[in-house]
Amino acid sequence: MSEIKRLTPPQSRRVNALVKKECCNYDGGNCILLDDGETCVCPQIISFSLLCKWFRAAVLPIDKELYAELYAPEDKRRCVVCNSHFASSSNSVKYCPDCGNRIRRRQAAERKRKQREMSRSRHEKSLV
């Protein structure tokens, strides 16, 4: 994780948004960490590389998708439904978070439907 990574323009936009939103050392375009009496422009904002060690260690892991895209390509999984890449902490995950929510809702509805059907059939048998 000590090597400097080059960013594509979409990755750079996501990194800049993450710096502005989450970095505790970012103050209106300046870096508090590098401030030695004079204001210093945040190097992460003005470059297409991952330069800031603080950002790499503390801020980047917040965005799991971007982190996986930049540092953990072996941890990236492909969704069975939509074929998009996503970060996974488990090796049994098959769906991206969006598809996973839809699949879980559909499976829960099917499970409850079957459960109600079984309950009705038991109730009908007890009446006969």
Token pair belonging to 25: 């050392």
Q: Which residues sit opposite 67 in a β-bridge?
A: none
Say whether pTM exceeds 0.75: no
CB 43, CB 23: distance < 8 Å: no
Helix axes 64-71, 9-22, angle to 10 degrees: 130
Q: How far apart are the first and last CA of the chain?
A: 70
User: How crowded is residue 30: how many other Cβ atoms within 10 Å of its Cβ?
Assistant: 16
Question: Pick the residue with more confidence: 70 or 105?
Answer: 105
Q: What span, in angstroms and rounded, lies between the C-alpha atoms of 66 and 3? A: 16
Question: Pick the residue with more confidence: 86 or 111?
Answer: 111
Which pLDDT does position 72 carry in this prediction? 63
Mean pLDDT of 7-23: 92
Q: What span, in angstroms and rounded, lies between the C-alpha atoms of 47 and 11? A: 11
Query: Mind listing the pLDDT tens digit for each residue in 116-125?
Result: 999 988 877 7
